[in-house]
Structure 1
Amino acid sequence: MSTSPDRRYRTVWISDVHLGTRGCQAARLLDFLRECEAETLYLVGDIVDVWRLRRRRFWPQEHSDVVQKLLRKARRGTRVILVPGNHDDVLHDYVGLEFGQILIKPDHIHETADGRRLLVIHGDQFDTVVARAPWLAHLGTHALAVSQLVNQWFNWWRRVFGYPYWSLSGYLKHKVKHRAAFIAKFDAALVLEAERRGVDGVVCGHIHHPEIRQIGAITYYNDGDWVDSCTALVEDENGQLELIRWPEPSRRAAPEPETEPATGVAARLKRLRRLVPTA
């Protein structure tokens, strides 16, 4: 997994940002979005965590900055496609529409530069917990929120003593019993769906586990998340795909000048918030 990527790509996939939660590493994502350019940018679900926003409003300026940056990229010519996940499932009601030049689709078939066809889908449909017991999935979300809060304090102390960021919540999550078996079943279900659709590979998110793996004739890509791993999947001009892990910015970049009038940005954010039902 590369940590020093080239800055221009044919395609970029990111997912599981979870804007609206304390675990979201918005500053790190914003640094990535400022440094990297792509012809096509896929937002592969769980970009805004509507589940958490329904229960508690948490929306610092950095989260607005990420939304503004995505809108600016779309306005400046990047093709941006959003595939809803389970935490932003309210967006399924807007499939086929555009929001600030960002097209919302249930899934998408991407063709790489070397002619391979990849199914782009969040993947929650193939998570048996989400599909069969949504109440249990919500319970797990609350437990994860607690671990992320502990993680915040843990990393605050690490920074005080000069240590780099380390995801305690991610470490605990990957140590949970049966995690490996769950991932294997999830991967297998996505591969079966890719075979059913007659494509060469599948790109997904959902489980916060970045990975590239060949499973039979299908290449499985999981682009990871921006809570624990801070990873993106990228395609170069030759059609080669790789995972990159974005490091913590050594310094805070100065905010870019906003060419859209402030009232326009506010209106777009107001429209986004209206999608979130009140508790």
Structure 2
Amino acid sequence: MATMHQLNTVRHVRTLFISDVHLGSKAAKAELLVDFLRVHDADTIYLVGDIVDGWRLKRSWHWPQPHNDVVQKLLRKARKGTRIVYIPGNHDEFVRDFPGEHFGGIEVKLNDVHVTADGRRFLVMHGDEFDVVVKNARILAYLGDWAYDAALAVNSVFNNVRRRLGFPYWSLSSWAKLKVKNAVNFIGEFEKTLAEEARRQDCVGVICGHIHHAQLAEREGIEYVNTGDWVESCTAVAERPDGTLELIRWAEEARRVPVRRGRGAEVEIDDLPSVVEAA
């Protein structure tokens, strides 16, 4: 692992993969994503689903300025020549009605095959298409979404106390995913199924989101890449100029970092060093 955190230096990569931002929800770490996009440029950016949280916006409208800033930042990159591909997920499934359309320079696709600089083919998809709960038990999916919201709310209060006591951030939902047997089994089956789909489409790997569990791994002889999320882990996947994929953990452990915003004003935010895992 290498540590890299240079907020005043723009880093250029060949491709960025970002998913599960959930703009429109109170849990979205939009300010951290704006900071990330400010210091990362790419030839291509894939938005791998659940960028906008239509489920929550239907329940109650929540769209503060930082959420708008994320959209404006992406549109500005598109105007400057970055190719941006939006692959909708289950929370922004309304976008699936517009495959092939362009909105402000952002292209909508249901899925895509990305070819890396070293010639490897990766299937890019959100992943909910292979989630049997989302696909076949809609009410259970909504209940699970509500339970996740509740866990995030409890987690927020818990970590406010931990921060005041000098302890680092700890994720209740991530702990549950790794400790509860059914959740572990679900994640394993999800990864296996997506790996099989990648092989079926003659790809060496799959890049997805959906389950908010970032990692670079191998499943069934296929490279499995999950971009994670921007409600807890604040992670993204980048392709270096040589085709190497890396997992960037933009918020690994809480730390006060000065970041320049707006008209040069320097403010303090809870941020993390950007930790990079390369594969």
- Under TM normalisation by the shorter chain, which class is it? 0.7 to 0.9
The equivalent of 2:4 in structure 1 is 4
The equivalent of 1:195 in structure 2 is 199
- Paired residues, number: 257
Distance (whole Å) between structure 1 residues aligned to residue 23 and residue 160 of structure 2: 20
Which residue type is aligned with residue 158 of structure 2?
F
The equivalent of 1:124 in structure 2 is 128
Identity %: 52
Distance (whole Å) between structure 2 residues aligned to residue 139 and residue 114 of structure 1: 43
Q: CA deviation at 1:216?
A: 3.7
Secondary structure (helix, strand or coil) at the match of 2:206 reads strand
The equivalent of 2:275 in structure 1 is none
Structure 1 residue 139 corresponds to structure 2 residue 143 = yes
Say which structure, 1 or 2, has more relative contact order (CA 8 Å, 6+ apart): 1
Alignment of 1:159-170 (within 5 A): 159-170=163-174
Structure 1 residue 66 corresponds to structure 2 residue 44 = no
> Of Structure 1 and Structure 2, which has the larger fraction of its residues in strand?
2
- Note the alpha carbon deviations across 1:208-229, whole angstroms, 9 max, x for none: 1111112244211111111121
> Which one of the candidate residues 253, 261, 272 is aligned to 1:254?
261
Task: Please identify, of 239-248 and 164-173, the stretch whose mean Cα deviation from structure 2 is larger.
Answer: 164-173
Distance (whole Å) between structure 2 residues aligned to residue 3 and residue 15 of structure 1: 22
Structure 1 residue 25 corresponds to structure 2 residue 29 = yes
> Of Structure 1 and Structure 2, which has the larger fraction of its residues in helix?
1
The equivalent of 1:80 in structure 2 is 84
Q: Is the 2:192–2:220 contact (alpha carbons within 8 Å) kept by the matching residues of 1?
A: no
Q: Is the 1:20–1:59 contact (alpha carbons within 8 Å) kept by the matching residues of 2?
A: yes
Task: Please identify, of 245-254 and 60-69, the stretch whose mean Cα deviation from structure 2 is larger.
Answer: 245-254
Secondary structure (helix, strand or coil) at the match of 1:170 reads helix
Alignment of 1:143-182 (within 5 A): 143-182=147-186
Distance (whole Å) between structure 2 residues aligned to residue 210 and residue 255 of structure 1: 30
Q: Is the 1:32–1:246 contact (alpha carbons within 8 Å) kept by the matching residues of 2?
A: yes
Distance (whole Å) between structure 1 residues aligned to residue 160 and residue 26 of structure 2: 13
Task: Please identify, of 240-249 and 185-194, the stretch whose mean Cα deviation from structure 2 is larger.
Answer: 240-249
Gap regions ≥5 residues in structure 2: 265-279
Distance (whole Å) between structure 2 residues aligned to residue 39 and residue 165 of structure 1: 33
Q: CA deviation at 1:147?
A: 1.5
Q: CA deviation at 1:74?
A: 0.9
Which residue type is aligned with residue 147 of structure 2?
A
Distance 1:124 1:3, change over 3 A: farther
The equivalent of 1:277 in structure 2 is none
The root-mean-square deviation of aligned C-alpha atoms, in Å, is: 1.9
Gap regions ≥5 residues in structure 1: 258-279
The equivalent of 2:117 in structure 1 is 113
Distance (whole Å) between structure 2 residues aligned to residue 128 and residue 199 of structure 1: 23
- Note the alpha carbon deviations across 1:214-265, whole angstroms, 9 max, x for none: 22442111111111211111110100011110036612431279xxxxxxxx
Q: With structure 2 as the length reference, what TM-score do the two structures score? A: 0.86
